[in-house]
Amino acid sequence: DAKTTQPPSMDCAEGRAANLPCNHSTISGNEYVYWYRQIHSQGPQYIIHGLKNNETNEMASLIITEDRKSSTLILPHATLRDTAVYYCIAFASGGSNYKLTFGKGTLLTVNP
Amino acid sequence: NAGVTQTPKFQVLKTGQSMTLQCAQDMNHNSMYWYRQDPGMGLRLIYYSASEGTTDKGEVPNGYNVSRLNKREFSLRLESAAPSQTSVYFCASSDTFDRGYGYTFGSGTRLTVV
């Protein structure tokens, strides 16, 4: 699976959009980009995933560049409860390496 | 719905003691996983069970054994605990093993080995 690179930490003001970047320059054609988050002391929570088209659900939007080498998770109106570590993961569905691998992620702190 | 339930939530062991961490899911998921998370680190996969009756090693299986008791339950056993196994252990389940979405995690077991 492709390695992903994320900034270790980011800040965001409450009510503003939080844009979390992720680089995955070695991503292969069959690897999806997945985002999870982990609120302090809890287990990770699935947010969204995509292959090459932009995706939106009730939690967030995912923007993937045309060359698929990077992506951005957007939380449109961040709240204090969105303070968490956000993980970007590249994973090939249907592959033989069944390991959803969590790196260190980005600690997003939403400030009042 | 309870989702994924882990017991116990906290445990302190002495070096050399054994224990079993229990995990149960009520979502009729086929696949289950055990991860560990050390302070300031991401999660590392210990073992997984793609379907009932099968188990496979993940990244860090040494010192652990697992049992997929039935479709609902997946236990993790430490035969002889070591201080290096002090960690937070998360169990997760998903509908299918080869998709990266829809993993549901438990709230974790905080294990300290002294």
In 3D space, the residue among A59, A61, A108, A62 whose CA is nearest the CA of residue A85 turns out to be A108
Q: pLDDT-derived band of residue A16, with 50, 70 and 90 as boundaries?
A: very high
Q: pLDDT-derived band of residue B110, with 50, 70 and 90 as boundaries?
A: very high
Residue from the list B35, B98, B105 with its beta carbon closest to the beta carbon of A95: B98
In 3D space, the residue among A9, A14, A56 whose CA is nearest the CA of residue A35 turns out to be A56
A94 contacts on B by Cβ (under 8 Å): 98
Q: Could you count the other beta carbons within 10 Å of the beta carbon of residue A63?
A: 16
| Least confident span in A3-12, A90-99, B58-67, B99-108 | A90-99
In 3D space, the residue among B6, B11, B14, B15 whose CA is nearest the CA of residue B35 turns out to be B6
A42 contacts B100? CB cut-off 8 A: no
A99 contacts on B by Cβ (under 8 Å): 45, 58-59
Query: What is the reported pLDDT for A44?
Result: 94
A34 contacts on B by Cβ (under 8 Å): 100-101
Q: What pLDDT digit, counting tens, does each position of A41-59 carry?
A: 899 999 999 999 899 999 9
Angle A58-B42-B94 (CA atoms, 0-180°, nearest 5)?
Answer: 50
Contact B58, A99 (CB under 8 A): yes
